[in-house]
Amino acid sequence: MNALMTQVRRLTLFETLLLAGLLLLAAFLALPIVFIVNHAFKPYNEMFQFPPTFLVREPTLSNFYDLFLRSSASIVPFSRYLFNSLIVSAATLAAVIVSSSMAAYVLSKYRFSLKKAVMAMIMLSLMFAPETVAIPRYLIISWLNINNTYFGHVLPFIASPVAVFLMKQFVDQIPNELVEAAKVEGASEVRIFLRIVMPLAMPALATIAIITFQSVWSDGQSSTLFMQDETMKTLPYYIMTLTSGVNAVAGQGMAAAAGLLMFLPNLVIFLFAQKRIMETMVHSGVK
C-alpha cells in the first residue's frame, strides 16, 4: 500500500490530469454496457416511461422468465435458437482457424508463382461489404443444396480474408531459420505447423477467434436468406422477430433480456483475450 501511495505521489500534474481524463473517457465508454444491463431488468412501465430512465428503478426478472419459459411453449422454443447459435459458432470458429492458419502458413513460408496474385485477391476481398456478396452466397448455397443445414450457416464464413491477413502478418514474424532448422532435424510439414507455427501464433489465433465469434454470434443474415426451416434458425434472427409485427410492444422485454445474453459472451471473451489482441496488432503492423 505504501509503495502504491509513493508511486501515486510521483505523478506529475500533467500525468494526473491525463489519468483523470482517461478515467472519465473509460466511464463514458462504459455507459452503453451499463444501459444494456439495466435495460434487461426493467419492467414494462419503465421501458415505455417518458422521459426515459437510464438506470432501472425496480429491477425484475420477468423479462428473462418470459424469454425462457413462455417462449418454450411456442412451436420453436428459445432453447432451440440458442442451441443452433452455439453449434454454428463453434463449428465456424474451428473451420476458420484451421483454414486461415493453413493458408497463412503457405502464403508466408512458401514460394509459388501465383503468390502475389492470391495476396492481391485477399486484399481486394477486404473491400467488399457483406451485403454486396449476399446474392452470390445465396446462389452458391442453393446450388450446393445445403439450405436448412448447419453447413449452410458455416460455409459463408470459412473464407475469411481478415483472418488470413492477420494470421499471415503474424506468421511472417516467425524466423525462416527456425522452420528450416526443424526441417533439417527431420520434422514433417505437419509437425512444423502444429508444434512450431501454431504455438507461436497464439495471439493471432486468439484475435481471429474473437473476430469470428463476434461476426457469427450476431449474424442473422444466414437464417434470413438460407434457412426456411424455423428449427434451423439462430438466436439473432429470433431476437429480430421479438420486436417485429404484432410483437413490436409485447416483445420489448424479451428482446432486452435476449440482447443482454447476446452481449455477455462477446464481453467475456474480449476481456480474457484483450492482451492477445494487442500483441497481434503490434506484430501485424496494424495502427
* pLDDT tens for each residue of 93-114: 999 999 999 988 888 888 878 8
Domain 77-284: CATH superfamily, name plus number: MetI-like (1.10.3720.10)
Answer whether residue 119 shows pLDDT above 80.
yes
Mean pLDDT of the chain: 81
Please tell me the predicted confidence (pLDDT) of residue 287: 40
Q: Report the alpha-carbon distance of residue 62 to residue 40 in Å, rounded.
A: 10
Please tell me the predicted confidence (pLDDT) of residue 3: 53
Answer whether residue 207 shows pLDDT above 80.
yes
Q: How confident is the model at residue 245 (pLDDT cuts 50, 70, 90)?
A: low
Give the CA angle between residues 279, 126, 100 to the nearest 5°.
55
Q: How confident is the model at residue 70 (pLDDT cuts 50, 70, 90)?
A: low
Burial class (CB in 10 A: 0-12, 13-18, 19+), 154: buried
* Identity of residue 3: A
Answer whether residue 1 shows pLDDT above 70.
no
* Identity of residue 217: W
**Three-state DSSP string of 130-164:** HHHHHHHHHHHHHHHCCCCCHHHHHHHHHCCHHHH
Q: Cell for 88?
A: 454454428
pTM, 2 dp: 0.79
Q: How confident is the model at residue 92 (pLDDT cuts 50, 70, 90)?
A: very high
* Complete DSSP assignment for 20-87: HHHHHHHHHHTHHHHHHHHHHT--HHHHT-SSPPSS-SS--SHHHHIIIIIGGGSSS-HHHHHHHHHH
Q: Report the alpha-carbon distance of residue 257 to residue 234 in Å, rounded.
A: 16
* pLDDT tens for each residue of 12-30: 777 788 888 889 998 888 8
Q: How confident is the model at residue 131 (pLDDT cuts 50, 70, 90)?
A: confident
Which range has the worst mean pLDDT, 54-63, 152-161, 248-257, 272-281? 272-281
Give me the phi and psi of 42, to 5 degrees please.
-80, 140
Please tell me the predicted confidence (pLDDT) of residue 94: 92
pLDDT, mean of residues 186-214: 85
Which range has the worst mean pLDDT, 41-55, 122-136, 240-254? 240-254
